[in-house]
Homo-oligomer: A and B are copies of this chain.
Amino acid sequence: MPTASVPDHFSAVPLAKAYRLLNHGPVVLVSSDHGGVQNVMAAAWSMPLDFDPPKVTVVIDKATLTRQLVEASGSFVLNVPSQALAEQTLAVGSDSGKAMPDKLARHGVSLFSAEPSTAPLVHGCVAWLECRLLPEPHNQNQYDLFIGEVVAAWADSRVFSDGRWHFDGAPEALRTLHYVAGGQFYATGASVLIEK
């Protein structure tokens, strides 16, 4: 797997604001690495679980290669794809890294890492949350539910800065996605601001 360079506009997000990267419920890509074996799968079922230190949950099915890598490595990354990655998101959510060992190359998924971390991050996403698994065997076995503590977070500064998403002034292709089923997503739409 060739490692791509760090993308332009890649900016650190303070941990106390990391929950906002997921708060609006976007589909995510779960990337993981164990012993040099890397995989990326799509997950519609993830959410923030706490503010500070930030925690997240994500559902990872027992049949997946990602499940093996996450349980073995104790870490994973939630990457938030932009609309430009909709086709790749569907593809890596449909094909298994077990049955298709060259899945990432075949679907044109390129990974990079950001010093000092070595976590595999997905190129073309607009937010990244590096997580350390908080082992909860009952949840993992009973519900396929994984809990992680966010240890680092980044975003594309064209759409997330000063702790906020700013989709309205950015290209449509940078909007995040919300998955329904059967290849159908909704893009994140218009901002609705209610004054308290």
**Interface residues in chain A, defined as those with a beta carbon under 8 Å from any beta carbon in chain B:** 20, 23-27, 44-50, 55, 57, 59, 83, 86-87, 90, 94, 136, 138-139, 143, 145, 147, 163-165, 167, 175, 177-181, 183-196
A190-B193 CB under 8 A given contacts A23-B179, A44-B23, A145-B49? no
Q: Which listed residue (B147, B163, B189) contacts A186, Cβ 8 A?
A: B189
A10 to B95 CA separation, bound complex (whole angstroms): 37
A179 to B194 CA separation, bound complex (whole angstroms): 11
List 5 tightest A-B contacts by C-beta distance, closest first. Answer: A25-B25, A189-B189, A24-B178, A187-B189, A185-B192
Q: Which residue of B lies closest to A195 (CB)?
A: B183
State the number of copies, please: 2
Please determine whether B194 and A186 come into contact, CB atoms closer than 8 angstroms. Answer: no
Q: Which residue of B lies closest to A181 (CB)?
A: B20
A94 to B195 CA separation, bound complex (whole angstroms): 12
A179 to B23 CA separation, bound complex (whole angstroms): 6
Q: Which listed residue (B45, B57, B175) contacts A145, Cβ 8 A?
A: B57
With A23-B180, A55-B143 given, name 4 new contacts (CB 8 A): A25-B26, A57-B57, A165-B180, A187-B191
